[in-house]
């Protein structure tokens, strides 16, 4: 956990070059969040289709509010704000949050903090997290984050790009085949994997309706090894 946090906190705030064309700004924010959007990377349409699907599963339409746990430089929130949503978010990388503030001056709240410490006084229609749960230290931490997300939301919480425990070996085989020195390069940088039952049990404990929809980010190598979950108040 500390190793990942150290890596992400090396990212310095970027405020220049983040104005003008929305597509350019959005892709630059995605790049800052760790996505390769150049060359053979993920195309713009894939990102936009993913966010459209995300908004659909979160029951979000113009005028509603949404909060992202692990928002990074604010790429998803930037797009959602342009769709007429009130946004807020948090991330433990201070440089990325400073960047998010530069492109989201009207955000309700943008704070640098651990996911398990997000404030819950301010409520949002939906609270979500994309590709962040795999960086958590253990499942107990993840459960505490889910508790905070549920308390902060009035309707739905969602988590996407969750590393599937049943596909852990396939994931490792793929990574080792793609990166010859994978084990040495990622030593001390573990990934947390989940079973669907972890979220089913949380939903049952809180009387939530749970779904595991397909929400593909076309062109993203990790999609075959992950799943998504959305939980709704009854």
Which residue has 């996505």 as its token pair?
Answer: 35
User: What pLDDT, on a 0 to 100 scale, did the predictor assign at position 203?
Assistant: 98
The number of residues making up the chain comes to 234
pLDDT of residue 14: 64
pTM of the model: 0.90
Query: What is the model's pLDDT at position 16?
Result: 64
CA within 13 Å, CB half, 234: 8
Give Cα 36 to chain centroid, integer Å: 16
DSSP type of residue 121 = S
Mean pLDDT of the chain: 89
Which structure tokens are listed for 115?
Answer: 């996911």
Dihedral, 168, 148, 6, 189 alpha carbons, nearest 10: -10
Both tokens assigned to 177 = 């085949």
* Of the candidates 55, 103, 121, the residue with the CA atom closest to the CA atom of residue 83: 55
- Examine the pLDDT at 97 and tell me if it is beyond 60: yes
Dist. CA 112–CA 92, nearest whole Å: 5
How confident is the model at residue 125, as a pLDDT?
Answer: 98
Q: What mean pLDDT is predicted for residues 124-132?
A: 96
User: In degrees rounded to 5, what are phi and psi of residue 65?
Assistant: -125, 150
pLDDT at 24 over 90: no
End-to-end CA distance of the chain: 34
Q: Looking at 148-196, which runs of residues are DSSP E strands?
A: 153-163
Asked if the model's pLDDT at residue 3 lies above 90, the reply is no
Cα–Cα distance, 28 to 20 (Å, whole number): 12
Q: Rounded mean pLDDT of 150-166? A: 97
| Whole-number Å distance between alpha carbons of 127 and 90 | 11
Confidence of residue 21 (pLDDT cuts 50, 70, 90): confident
Bridge partners of residue 90, in order along the sequence: 69, 111
Task: Please give the pLDDT value at position 1.
Answer: 44
- In the three-class reduction of DSSP (H, G, I as helix; E, B as strand; rest coil), residue 179 is classed as coil
More confident residue, 50 or 217: 50
């Amino acid at each position: 956990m500390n190793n990942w946090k150290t890596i992400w906190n090396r990212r310095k705030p970027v405020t220049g070059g983040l104005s003008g064309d929305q597509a350019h700004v959005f892709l630059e924010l995605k790049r800052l969040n760790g996505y390769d959007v150049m060359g053979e990377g993920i195309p713009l349409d894939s990102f936009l289709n993913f966010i459209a699907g995300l908004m659909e599963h979160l029951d979000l339409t113009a005028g509603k509010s949404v909060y992202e746990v692990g928002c990074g430089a604010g790429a998803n929130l930037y797009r959602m704000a342009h769709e007429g949503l009130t946004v807020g978010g948090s991330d433990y990388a201070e440089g990325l949050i400073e960047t998010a503030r530069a492109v989201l001056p009207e955000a309700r709240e943008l704070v640098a903090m651990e996911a398990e410490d997000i404030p819950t006084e301010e409520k949002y229609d939906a609270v979500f997290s994309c590709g962040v749960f795999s960086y958590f230290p253990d499942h107990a931490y993840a459960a505490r984050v889910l508790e905070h997300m549920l308390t902060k939301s009035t309707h739905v919480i969602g988590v996407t790009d969750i590393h599937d425990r049943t596909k852990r070996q396939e994931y490792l085989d793929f990574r080792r085949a793609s990166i010859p020195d994978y084990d040495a390069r990622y030593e001390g940088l573990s990934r947390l994997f989940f079973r669907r039952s972890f979220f089913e049990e949380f939903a049952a404990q809180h009387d939530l309706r749970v779904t595991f929809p397909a929400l593909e980010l076309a062109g993203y190598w990790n999609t075959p090894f992950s799943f998504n979950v959305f939980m709704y108040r009854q």
